[in-house]
Amino acid sequence: MTNEGEPIDVWILGGYLGAGKTTTLNALLSDPVFGGRNPALIINEFGRMGVDGALVERQDLSRFEINKGSLFCICTKTDFLKALAAIAEGDHQAVVIEATGIAEPVDIESFLTNGPHAGRFRLRGNLCIVDAANFTKIAAFLKPATAQVRWADAIIINKCDCASEDERHVLGKVLAELNPTAPRWETSFGNIEPAFLEGVHRTARAEQLRPCAPEKIIAVSLTAGEPVDYAAFRTVLERLGEHVLRLKGNIAFTEGAAYVEIVCGRYSQKEPLKQLDEAATAFTVIAWDIDKDALIEAFSACGCNV
């Protein structure tokens, strides 16, 4: 535990959409040592609905949600500084920042070391969570995924239970080319040994905040006033195809409500999130290479609107 007067440790959890950032966050918070440091959470989502915040198991912790865009963009700087100011006034020994999955990272250490927060925070490391089964499938055409690996101080290869030995071998070679110096930890379900975190060394980089969201990537948050027909909803998804990078949220189907998720083209659903309105439709779609109006119009066919 950090002694009184010492800076508050800050960890960034990055990684592409669906890699398991929130799962890793929950694993960290369940660790008696890390979770016992009264960590504050900054959850960054590319969409106005706080779905990731609802997935955090420790709802008792101080949490700040930034959903106007990527944490590394100019558009969120004011909100980020406000969150830091509030955290600095509390009794926290750690901060975990969960960045949006489409973020192209830059160095935010100046926010922590300059101005009114000088000496109050200490950036310990940028952890990049990588999906062992899907990273090599999307890295070739989606720049944020590779940028996150290049900027990482350590790489957490997650979902190893979903990848074969050959797939993990190929992934290791790709990651070594992108970032040969970052230590790597292979795991499933986001489990990280605290000793691994303590061995991470921070590498400072000089680059300005980005002026806008990543190219060709958009997000829309949708609701529906009436129950959604399941078949019509799946038809919309089939028509959109690979344009949909990520979808998550509760959907009130005519047959009953469910929490729906799409990760790398894989559809799944389970019991609706209780932290959201279980009986209502509220979900976010992150899409690539499609006009925003066209995306909204596509979902209007099954009664879902912004």
Task: Note whether 117 and 36 are same-domain residues.
Answer: yes
pLDDT of residue 1: 38
Q: Which of 43, 99, 96, 101 is nearest to 72 (CA)?
A: 99
Is 285 in a helix, a strand, or coil? strand
Is residue 32 assigned to a domain?
Answer: yes
Q: Which domain holds residue 265?
A: 217-300
Is residue 159 assigned to a domain?
Answer: yes
Task: Note whether 254 and 178 are same-domain residues.
Answer: no
| pLDDT single digits (tens) 123-154 | 999 999 999 999 998 887 888 899 999 999 99
**Side-chain half-sphere exposure of 66, counting CA atoms within 13 A:** 25
Total number of domains in the chain: 2
User: Hey, which residues does 218 pair with through a beta bridge?
Assistant: 287
Is residue 209 assigned to a domain?
Answer: no
Of 145, 164, 198, the residue at which a domain comes to its end is: 198
Q: What is the CATH number of the domain that holds 232?
A: 3.30.1220.10
Is residue 212 assigned to a domain?
Answer: no
Task: Note whether 102 and 231 are same-domain residues.
Answer: no
Is residue 208 assigned to a domain?
Answer: no
Is residue 3 assigned to a domain?
Answer: no
CA 164 to chain centre: 25
Task: Note whether 33 and 159 are same-domain residues.
Answer: yes
Question: Is the confidence at residue 224, as pLDDT, over 50?
Answer: yes
Q: How many residues does the chain have?
A: 306
Task: Note whether 115 and 252 are same-domain residues.
Answer: no
Which has the minimum average pLDDT: 15-19, 194-198, 222-226, 279-283?
194-198
Q: What is the 3-state secondary structure (H, E, C) of 190-213?
A: CCCCHHHHHCCCCCCCCCCCECCC
Task: Note whether 179 and 260 are same-domain residues.
Answer: no
Confidence of residue 180 (pLDDT cuts 50, 70, 90): very high
Q: Which of 179, 77, 88 is nearest to 135 (CA)?
A: 179
Residue 147 and residue 107: Cα distance in Å, rounded?
12
pLDDT of residue 46: 79
Q: Which helix (H) or strand (E) holds 14?
A: strand 8-15
Q: Which helix (H) or strand (E) holds 157?
A: strand 154-158
Task: Note whether 161 and 70 are same-domain residues.
Answer: yes
Task: Note whether 132 and 257 are same-domain residues.
Answer: no
Task: Note whether 29 and 144 are same-domain residues.
Answer: yes
Crossing angle of helices 165-178 and 143-151, in 10° steps, is 70
Task: Note whether 158 and 276 are same-domain residues.
Answer: no
Number of neighbours of residue 107 by Cβ within 10 angstroms: 17
Q: What is the CATH number of the domain that holds 132?
A: 3.40.50.300
Question: Is the confidence at residue 6, as pLDDT, over 90?
Answer: no
Question: Is the confidence at residue 3, as pLDDT, over 60?
Answer: no
Instruction: Please state the pTM of the whole predicted model.
Output: 0.85
Is residue 294 assigned to a domain?
Answer: yes
Residue 208 burial (10 A CB sphere; 0-12, 13-18, 19+): exposed
Of 146, 170, 198, the residue at which a domain comes to its end is: 198
Task: Note whether 145 and 225 are same-domain residues.
Answer: no
Cβ(138)–Cβ(15) below 8 Å: no
| pLDDT single digits (tens) 228-284 | 999 999 999 999 999 999 999 999 999 999 999 999 889 999 999 988 888 899 999
Coarse DSSP helix, strand, coil percentages of the chain, rounded to the nearest 5 percent: 35, 25, 40
Of 198, 232, 263, the residue at which a domain comes to its end is: 198
Task: Note whether 158 and 259 are same-domain residues.
Answer: no
Is residue 207 assigned to a domain?
Answer: no
